[in-house]
Amino acid sequence: MQTAYTVLILLMLVGVSRLIGRVIPLPLPLVQITAGALLAWPTLGLHVALDPELFLFLFLPPLLFSDGWRMPKREFWHLRGPILTLAVGLVLFTVVGAGYFIHWLLPDVPLPVAFALAAVLSPTDAVAVSAISRNRLPTPLMHILQGEALMNDASGLVTFKFALVAAVTGVFSLANASVTFLLVAVGGLAVGVALSWLVGRLRAWMIARGWDDPATHVVFMLLLPFAAYVLAERMEVSGILSAVAAGMMQSWLDLLPRQTNTRLLNRSVWSLLEFAFNGLIFLLLGLQLPDIIKAVASHETSLWPTLLYRGLDVVAIFLMLLALRFIWVQSIWRLSVLLRRLRGKGDVTQVPTARSCWLLTVGGVRGAVTLAGVMSVPMLMGGEVFAQRDLLIFIAAGVILLSLIAACIALPILLRGIETSPDDKRRNEVRDAWRKTAEAAIHALEAEEVNPQDAAQSALAAELKARIMSEYRHQLEVFNDSAEAQALAFQMDLLERRLRLKALRAQRLELYSLSRHHQIGDDVLREVLGELDLSEAKLGQVK
């Protein structure tokens, strides 16, 4: 029962922290880490013992699967050059540079272990950056950070596993490691794509036979990242890349017919799951902080001088990571511009100004994946207690905190003076999509031939077609190219939505009244209320 109480308390804190984050102008991860630390204070004394392998298996696959699902594929392909140089090149650059620096700074940490720590510090968290910047980052930069966060989760953690194996066995060959890395990476991607495709075919087969219950399909989606991870690990390829590939593949397979209710439920479930898991990771970090601090200082005679020196080590490592990231971003970006000019392509995606380079540098915030990875470090290594494990967790936790604090301070300063302009390209694409789909609907209705039995039914059918077609013609007016027509159409649309919202709320109040007076049963109440809620959700937010 104690475990159940602990889980319920943590889930409650995840929700409460979100409310506190709306009042306190701090990033949600910092609020959650603080809440966890307070909960682990000796007065309350909540302690959670973590199994490293269970922690890695429970948290990483669904988070990576969700990242792969949400990543805009077209933008990812368009910005594949900058994304891959950051997600692969920068990871290797960081592992080598920061690894040697950590080994020099902390001679007690073996070089392979230093490389492992540098690797696990490489993954970034674009969700935290988006929360801190409040969506004021230029769209191309945000897409680059999202793509980097998706890919360097995989490259960083795979490199981290290789470094840990080298630390355990004491054997490392760059040539063998490179070939093995390639095989493991390609194998993981193949397993994730194949399993996701098979699940998609299974779902299509079920739908064709009328087995389209949304809850069943959502359960399959929830199990898919764990299945992809476990199957890949059993085949001795990358389970991390398998989960990412399964998520990216499933976003294409999500467009199956007769799956509207499933998609609605799936999005809600995954949003809740992602929010809960991210929150639990940071809460668990806060809960582990007192034990981590005690473990780091347990072999020393005095607590505060030891914490001061270790804190300075964390600051030095964080500054080194920041410097390595800035050097890489500045060098690669200028090199890419030079190559484009040599090819005669003067137009570049982004001009490498000092501000944009610093935005990409400070935007490399460490988050949940780094913590989940370092928590998975085994407690035993080579049959002996791994003495540096607590130190690695302490450094990783410190770097996460410093990166969040630095982003909170630096991003608003760097974004000062940048006007939040609408994404014209995306807005035009949305307008074109609505216009073309409305035209397709009108053509389909015009071509529809109704065979009524008498003249009355014929007139009724014509009236219904005209009524539906008038709604689509209204959409065409809303998305007309004329600015004056758009302004008038949007004004009419806003007024119509307000009136519809008022009518829906009146329906809901009357429904509540019928229920209170026992004129309808609970089953009728739920059914009608669900339809009203769905209708209101379609209207969106009305100002």
The share of the chain scoring above pLDDT 90, in percent, equals 9
Confidence (pLDDT) at 489: 67
List, for residues 160-208, the tens digit of each pLDDT value: 877 877 777 766 666 666 777 788 888 888 999 999 999 988 888 888 8
Cα 181 → chain centroid: 25
The more confidently predicted of residues 420 and 410 is: 410
How far apart are the C-alpha atoms of 420 and 356, rounded to whole Å?
15
Q: How confident is the model at residue 344 (pLDDT cuts 50, 70, 90)?
A: low
pLDDT 10s digits, 272-322: 888 888 888 788 878 877 777 777 766 666 667 777 888 899 999 999 999
Q: If you average pLDDT over every residue of the chain, what do you get?
A: 78
Average pLDDT over residues 51-66: 78
Average pLDDT of the residues in 354-372: 82
Residue pair 400/371 in contact (Cβ under 8 Å)? The answer is: yes
What local confidence, expressed as pLDDT, does residue 305 receive? 77
Residue 423 has pLDDT above 60, yes or no: no
CB 280 within 8 A of CB 224: no
Q: In 343-364, where does DSSP find H-type helix?
A: 354-362
The Cα 446–Cα 68 span in angstroms is 40
Non-local (6+) Cβ contacts of 493 within 8 A are: 474, 478
- Average pLDDT (35-48) is 73
pLDDT on residue 190: 92
* Greatest mean pLDDT range, 98-112, 244-258, 434-448: 98-112
Q: Which CATH architecture has domain 2-197+215-421?
A: Up-down Bundle (1.20)
At 394 the pLDDT is: 86
The angle that helices 174-208 and 214-234 make with each other, rounded to 10 degrees, is: 160
Q: Reply yes or no on whether the pLDDT at 348 is more than 60.
A: no
* Residue 502, C-beta contacts closer than 8 angstroms, at least 6 positions apart: none
Res 529 pLDDT > 70: yes
Predicted confidence band at 271 (pLDDT cuts at 50, 70, 90)? Answer: confident
Cα separation values, 347 from 337, 351, 352, 354, 380, Å: 9, 9, 12, 18, 54
Q: What percent of the chain has pLDDT over 70?
A: 80
Is the pLDDT score of 150 beyond 80?
no
Query: How sure is the predictor about 424, in pLDDT bands with cuts at 50, 70 and 90?
Result: low
Structure-token pair, residue 59: 């948290």
Please give the Cα distance from 25 to 478 (Å, whole number).
38
- Give the range among 69-73, 298-302, 407-411 with minimum mean pLDDT: 298-302
Q: How confident is the model at residue 104 (pLDDT cuts 50, 70, 90)?
A: very high
The yes-or-no verdict on residue 486 having pLDDT over 70 is no
State how far the Cα of 107 lies from the Cα of 443, in Å rounded to an integer.
74
CB 246 within 8 A of CB 61: no
Residue pair 331/337 in contact by the 8 Å Cβ criterion: no
pLDDT digits (tens, 9 = 90+) for 196-214: 999 988 888 888 888 878 8
State yes or no: pLDDT of 226 exceeds 90. Answer: yes
**What are the sequence ranges of the domains in the chain?**
2-197+215-421, 428-479, 492-543
pTM, 2 dp = 0.76
Residue 365, φ and ψ in degrees, nearest 5: -75, 135
Confidence at residue 350, expressed as pLDDT on a 0 to 100 scale: 47
For the CA atoms of the chain, what is the radius of gyration? Answer: 27
Q: Residue 349's pLDDT is what? A: 46
